[in-house]
Amino acid sequence: MSFSHQVMLNQSLFEDPHMGFQAPHPNWALFSSLHYHHLHQSLRVPLLGSSSAGSDNNNNLSNSSSLASKDTDHVSTSFKLGEFEAPSVLHRSPTASHDIWPWGEAMTDHGSCMGSNKRISGGGSGADYHHHHHHHNHHLGIAAMKMKKAKVRRKIREPRFCFKTMSDVDVLDDGYKWRKYGQKVVKNTQHPRSYYRCTQDSCRVKKRVERLAEDPRMVITTYEGRHAHSPSNDQDNSDSAPSSTLNNFFW
DNA sequence: CGAGTTTGACCTGCGC
DNA sequence: GCGCAGGTCAAACTCG
């Protein structure tokens, strides 16, 4: 079955030469499926449409207007870009990319970094956790120190993008394995937001799933970061839905 | 027992 | 500084 997608990108992605287009535009906009391909290729980010195990033969999809994937080989997709709450980061040297952990950000000078940072930089041995004392150099990890050295003081975020999908399944199957690590009630909405991390060791990609307040039929999936590996889809699943024509372009 | 989820506590940024 | 909102941790728990 098909889904209608809308994708939101932050500006950095639009500046990616591979995207073949550029254009901050404050609203959701339609782009061709070709661009969608570029998006997935360059981001190595899942292409949806195949999954959602639930065989729920939704009717609702179809009428969802112009975006619906009527044409078999043209899943029209609409992207939205704009104010991601991510700060304007965007530019990172490619080399630094895996040393710097996006939200293990700027330590205060008094090494008061807590929580997330430690773990992040700890990388392998997450064992010692509780001794988070003053001494920066202890187990804070290279990343943190490098950051300090580099005088990075603001948050650095991985590229992220999101898309809306009309579906009653919350978590779309994108071929990667995810472990849930949190759930939050979002203000002014009925539905909670869930946080997932890629289970692949040392892959730090995250994903966030929530329902659109204005229209709970819509699932908003937000990816943050890039996978440095291919999806480890154990169970190759059965139905290659019509829209999966696209899937073959990747992986 | 291991892998994944649940869930309250905790952290951080931000606006007042 | 306070309080709120969002994001993450991690112990407890569930499920195979």
Helix-then-strand count for chain A, H and E: 4, 8
Percentage of chain A surpassing pLDDT 70? 28
Q: Is the CB of A119 under 7 A from strand C?
A: yes
Q: What average pLDDT does the segment A22-37 reach?
A: 42
A115 touches strand B (CB under 7 A): yes
Q: Are A32 and A74 in contact (CB under 8 A)?
A: yes
Chain B: positions less than 7 Å from a protein CB are: 3-14
Determine the pLDDT at residue A41.
56
Residue nearest to nucleotide B5 (CA to C1'): A180
Q: Which has more pLDDT, A219 or A195?
A: A195
Report CA-CA distances (Å) from A148 to A102, A109, A135: 14, 9, 14
| A206: confidence class by pLDDT, cuts 50, 70, 90 | very high
Least confident of A29-33, A65-69, A168-172, A222-226: A65-69
A181 CA to B8 C1' in angstroms comes to 13
pLDDT tens sequence across A116-168 = 333 333 333 333 333 333 333 333 334 444 444 434 444 555 666 777 777 77
What is the Rg, in whole angstroms, of the alpha carbon atoms belonging to chain A? 19
Dist. CA A32–CA A47, nearest whole Å = 14
